[in-house]
Amino acid sequence: MIQRPRGTRDLLPPESRLWQAVEELARTVFASFGADEIRTPAFEPTELFVRSVGETTDIVHKEMYTFEDRKGRSLTLRPEGTAGVARAWIENRLHDRSHPLRLYYIGPMFRYERAQQGRYRQFSQIGLELLGADSPLADAELLLVLHELFTRLGFDDLQVHLNNLGDPEDRPRYQQVVRETLAGRREALCSDCQRRLDENPLRVLDCKVPSCQVIVADVPPVSDVASEASRQHVAAVEAQLERLGVPFVRNRRLVRGLDYYLRTVFEVVSPRLGTNAVLCGGGRYDRLISDLGGPSLPGSGFAIGEDRLVDVLPEPFKERVLGARRLYLVPLGAPAQAEVLALAREWSRAGVTVEVELTGRSLKSALKRADKEGFAAVAILGDDELAGGVVAIRDLVASSQQVMAAAAVPDWWKGRG
């Protein structure tokens, strides 16, 4: 038997309905704030991610799926979405559009990493990028959109962590601070962090190894060396969040795992998944597009890990999505079978979620299936009902039965709520 690759999974009904509902709500919320969808390729030139994400990051160093095509060109399955959006902005000359641009994406990403709960080698992200605005209002809007989406999903216990990474000009000074602070404890760090200390000291602060987290607790926060302009920017973001009632905490150890971030960085954490359970992360990246060969254009954005998000959806949202909302239409006899699809089409056009019995089950067998599969109601169409233009309805939720005109079923269905 051929099995799926390690670190991947099959999304099956009814769980797939949760994914659809989350994505539909995300599209609705993003569009209500003026965002449009962008769809970029699932693979890009490897250089795009090396230059944008950073050659010394764990993603580029050991997590990318990279291969050569038949002409020897190095390609990589996208490990994240922002770089592809930046490349698309440059290549498609989107500077001719009115800015700021709000662009969102939903799709699969790929990283070769240790498979564990909520973490897969093919995973899905829901992301939003805001291009062309360098004001603190842009960062605050992104967090407002996030807060609105999570609120509509029913969350009330998520924690927004916020920090100031400073400007790129501040980075060398802080790297030196990290190296000097940890120089005497280098051998106690994990092998990855010893390498990071040489290549990119900020990545040491992002290590998830408990012993390393204890050691780096002595490192001064990056905000201590941030420029005055950067401090004013992040302070203005925080003031906006307080004004909007969006709760947050300042996490002075937060650095994120991508090199293009500066000034505002943030994560959304779920207590249900433990201390390192990040559902969403993002921040400001004003130099990214110019680093990729485009003009100077400020930007900020976030990406939600959809796999983890679905795992911790509040029960009321899941119940609404997975609740009994299907009508089972059962034809009894050849005349009813001849007409049943036309009736189903009429109802579906009127907004009824209807599933037709196609295998010729008896009424007794159909009712057993309806109970097992969680249908909301069964509509029975036999010879007598067909002749009278009616159907017999068994409401399995209300435990009631009635006969009504076939044309009245859509209004009755909507009235059930």
Ordered by start, the domain boundaries in the chain are 15-167+226-318, 324-415
Cα 164 to the center of its chain, rounded Å? 24
Q: What is the pLDDT of residue 30?
A: 98
* Class of residue 156 by CB neighbours under 10 A (exposed 0-12, middle 13-18, buried 19+): exposed
Q: Which of 105, 88, 5 is nearest to 52 (CA)?
A: 88
Which ranges of 94-227 would DSSP assign to H, the alpha helix? 136-153, 171-182, 191-199, 210-216
Q: What is the DSSP letter of 70?
A: T
* DSSP secondary structure of 188-210: GS-HHHHHHHHH-GGGGGG---H
Q: What is the DSSP letter of 63?
A: I
Structure tokens that stand for 85 in this block: 């959006």
Structure tokens that stand for 98 in this block: 């009115």
Length of the chain: 417
Is-cis flag, bond preceding 100, omega within 30? Answer: yes
Q: Which of 321, 348, 370, 372 is nearest to 16 (CA)?
A: 321
19 residue type, one letter: W
Q: Which residues of the chain have pLDDT under 50?
A: none
Q: What is the pLDDT of residue 210?
A: 85
**Residue 157 and residue 150 in contact, taking contact as beta carbons nearer than 8 Å:** no
Q: Which fold has domain 15-167+226-318?
A: BirA Bifunctional Protein; domain 2 (3.30.930)
Q: What is the CA radius of gyration of the chain?
A: 27
Q: What is the DSSP letter of 10?
A: -
CATH dotted code for 324-415:
3.40.50.800
Structure tokens that stand for 277 in this block: 């359970």
Q: In this structure, how many other beta carbons lie within 10 angstroms of the beta carbon of residue 201?
A: 24
Predicted model pTM: 0.89
Structure tokens that stand for 377 in this block: 């109601």
Q: In this structure, how many other beta carbons lie within 10 angstroms of the beta carbon of residue 176?
A: 12
**Residue 81 and residue 127 in contact, taking contact as beta carbons nearer than 8 Å:** yes
